[in-house]
């Protein structure tokens, strides 16, 4: 008989009677390590501090609360912010009527659903079944946690053969791992095979995602339009469809798709934010205002508040000529989110916009300069905000500050701003001179970083050398010199400090890219041979 005494459980339910009932059932199932959360917010706080083996979550969390979030949206937030891992069992408690609506409509599904009302025997059986599933997937999950994605793919393939009842889930995991490795044709093939065997919503979404990432936007759009027609409640399909339309320059159509999605599921903050951004870009300030006001209101009760939402709302209100309301939003930002460096940057940008609307250019310049100074010491600000700040600086002839913002964006370790995007900011502003200057400075910084990496390697700091070489690659992604230096740095670390699966994958990708750029390069053979030699040394299968 299975020993449940060491299992830890988090019960998320706003109803005190249901919490007491679940506690009683779990105790009868020999599970005594139980904690409780009464809302999505309290659950997030607890999961930020510790992990649990099992989460039992009521679907209807939103009744009578400010944010209206349900259990599915909480699950998506927890996955998005990496607050629960692959080994966490998430069981959704719901009514039969709700189950029929959500079971085929979610990209991120819970481990299991339990329909209310249920008995202790049903709960115990579902927990046992979930633990058996976790046991089947555990070898693969452990390899993923180690960063050994290639071996994880092999493990998932074995799992698919050894555990037929989980074959679709193992196939999905293989496809997602190929996506993570950038092997999009392999992922596409797997999703297509799954669909051929059984037309599952998440498989269509995965297929569309791989097509989108291969820049086959039209094909992705066709798959997604069929998916939302066949399954109108598959919300993630609307999000990706909107991205396809944006990529094709169809902002108005993207807005329409997101409006349709929000009408079906009105409480997802990330989708509301996206709708506001798309509507603002499309010039629809009415929809943008409504969306950003909802985002600000809902995020007030969220653990994932973002001061940039206030900036977006200020920008929208000023476009409508509503300066007084914009001023109120800035005061709300000061009152409700004070103390963070990011908040200060967002406040300065918002105040600058307000002064600009009033025609007070000196005051706007002062606030923009303050925002630029703040960017130097902050992290986590979006690339959209930084690019917008750089453009505002260019508008007010703050050329040096604009360049500084884009360099800071490129130097941010967590940035998604590419060198091409940074340069295009200046090109689109008609400042080819600044574009050439920023490009030159980025290449210079890359060379300086390579020099620092070489010094670190000479001093024995091999991990530091690799990290600095990666920073150089971000500055100059097309540089053959940087790619060769990074591959060499990784090979030395692997040789002296031991095998590291994620780093080895980076090295492999660099060698393959070098091969594509210059198949006759004299160092290519040496790099390839050293890589294979290290694989043999550590017994890594090919």
* pLDDT-based confidence at residue 109 (cuts at 50, 70, 90): confident
* Residue 118 pLDDT exceeds 90: yes
* pLDDT-based confidence at residue 101 (cuts at 50, 70, 90): low
Query: Could you count the other beta carbons within 10 Å of the beta carbon of residue 256?
Result: 15
Residue with tokens 């409640």: 233
Task: Encode pLDDT of 3-52 as tens digits.
Answer: 788 999 999 999 999 999 999 999 999 999 999 999 888 999 999 999 99
* Residue 413 pLDDT exceeds 80: no
* pLDDT-based confidence at residue 65 (cuts at 50, 70, 90): low
* Residue 2 pLDDT exceeds 70: no
Q: Identify which has the larger pLDDT, 409 or 535.
A: 535
* pLDDT-based confidence at residue 102 (cuts at 50, 70, 90): low
CA distance 181 to 510: 13
pLDDT at 417 (0 to 100): 80
* Residue 356 pLDDT exceeds 80: yes
pLDDT at 534 (0 to 100): 95
CA distance 377 to 408: 9
Tell me the pLDDT of the chain averaged across its residues: 92
Task: Encode pLDDT of 485-510 as tens digits.
Answer: 999 999 999 999 999 999 999 999 99
Overall pTM surpassing 0.75 (yes/no): yes
Residue 33 phi/psi, 5-degree rounding, is -90, 85
Tokens of residue 382, six digits: 């979006």
Residue with tokens 């600095």: 468
pLDDT at 490 (0 to 100): 97
Task: Encode pLDDT of 119-174 as tens digits.
Answer: 999 999 999 999 999 999 999 999 999 999 999 999 999 999 999 999 999 999 99
Q: Is cis: bond before 117, omega within 30 of 0?
A: yes
pLDDT at 432 (0 to 100): 93
**Residues ≥6 apart with Cβ < 8 Å to 6:** 33
- Partners of 115 in the beta sheet? 94
Q: Give the range with max mean pLDDT: 89-98, 150-159, 433-442.
A: 150-159
Task: Encode pLDDT of 440-473 as tens digits.
Answer: 998 999 999 999 999 999 999 999 999 999 999 9
**CB-count exposure of residue 103 (10 Å: 0-12, 13-18, 19+):** middle
Residue 36 phi/psi, 5-degree rounding, is -130, 150
Question: DSSP letters of 228-288?
Answer: HHH-TT-HHHHHHHHHHHHHTT-HHHHHHHHHHHHHHSTT-HHHHHHHHHHHHHTT-HHHH
Residue (of 392, 389, 331) closest to 357 by Cα position:
392
Question: DSSP letters of 401-438?
Answer: HHHHHHHHHHH-TT----HHHHHHHHHHTT-HHHHHHH
Least confident range of 61-75, 79-93, 470-484: 61-75
CA–CA–CA angle 47, 49, 55 (5° rounding): 25
**CB-count exposure of residue 413 (10 Å: 0-12, 13-18, 19+):** exposed
pLDDT at 340 (0 to 100): 77
């Amino acid at each position: 008989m299975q020993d449940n005494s060491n299992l830890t459980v988090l019960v998320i339910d706003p109803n005190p009677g249901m919490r007491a009932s679940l506690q009683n059932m779990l105790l009868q199932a020999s599970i005594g390590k139980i904690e409780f959360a009464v809302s999505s917010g309290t659950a997030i706080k607890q999961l930020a501090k510790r992990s649990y083996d099992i989460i039992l979550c009521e679907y209807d969390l939103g009744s009578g609360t400010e944010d209206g979030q349900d259990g599915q949206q909480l699950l998506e937030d927890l996955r998005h912010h990496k607050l629960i891992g692959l080994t966490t069992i998430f069981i959704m408690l719901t009514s039969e009527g709700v189950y029929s609506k959500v079971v085929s409509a979610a990209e991120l599904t819970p481990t299991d659903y339990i329909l209310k009302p249920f008995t202790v025997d049903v709960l115990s059986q579902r927990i046992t079944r979930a633990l058996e599933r976790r046991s089947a997937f555990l070898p693969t999950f452990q390899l993923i946690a180690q960063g050994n994605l290639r071996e994880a793919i092999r493990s998932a393939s074995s799992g698919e053969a050894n555990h037929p009842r989980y074959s679709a889930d193992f196939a999905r995991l293989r496809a997602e791992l190929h996506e993570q490795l950038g092997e999009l044709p392999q992922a596409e093939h797997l999703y297509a095979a799954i669909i051929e065997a059984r037309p599952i919503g998440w498989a269509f979404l995965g297929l569309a995602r791989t097509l989108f990432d291969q820049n086959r936007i039209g094909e992705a759009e066709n798959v997604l339009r069929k998916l939302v027609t066949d399954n109108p409640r598959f919300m993630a399909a609307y999000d990706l469809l909107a991205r396809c339309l944006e990529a094709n320059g169809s902002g108005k159509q993207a807005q329409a798709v997101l409006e349709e999605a929000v009408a079906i599921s009105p409480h997802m903050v990330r989708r509301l934010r996206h709708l506001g951004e798309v509507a603002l870009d499309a010039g629809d300030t009415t929809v943008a205002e409504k969306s950003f006001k909802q985002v600000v209101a809902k995020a007030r009760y969220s653990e994932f508040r973002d001061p940039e939402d206030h900036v977006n709302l200020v920008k929208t209100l000023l476009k409508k000529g509503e300066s007084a309301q914009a001023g109120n939003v800035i005061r709300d930002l000061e009152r409700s989110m004070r103390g963070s460096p990011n908040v200060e940057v967002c406040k300065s940008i918002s105040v600058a916009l307000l002064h600009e609307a009033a025609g007070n250019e000196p005051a706007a310049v002062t606030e923009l300069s303050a925002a630029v100074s703040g960017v130097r010491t902050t992290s986590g600000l979006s690339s959209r905000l930084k690019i917008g700040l750089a453009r505002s600086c260019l508008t007010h002839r703050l050329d040096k500050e604009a360049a500084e913002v884009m360099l800071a964006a490129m130097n941010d370790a967590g940035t998604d701003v590419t060198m091409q995007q940074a340069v295009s900011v200046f090109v689109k502003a008609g400042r080819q001179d600044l574009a050439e200057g920023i490009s030159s400075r980025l290449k210079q910084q890359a060379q300086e970083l390579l020099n620092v990496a070489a010094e670190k390697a000479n001093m024995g700091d091999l991990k530091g050398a690799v990290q600095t070489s990666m920073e150089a690659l971000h500055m100059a992604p097309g540089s053959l010199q940087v790619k060769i230096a990074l591959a060499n740095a990784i090979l030395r670390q692997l040789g002296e400090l031991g095998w590291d699966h994620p780093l080895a994958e980076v090295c492999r990708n660099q060698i393959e890219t070098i091969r594509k750029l210059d198949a006759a390069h004299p160092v290519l053979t040496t790099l390839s041979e050293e890589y294979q030699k290290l694989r043999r040394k550590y017994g890594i299968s090919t």
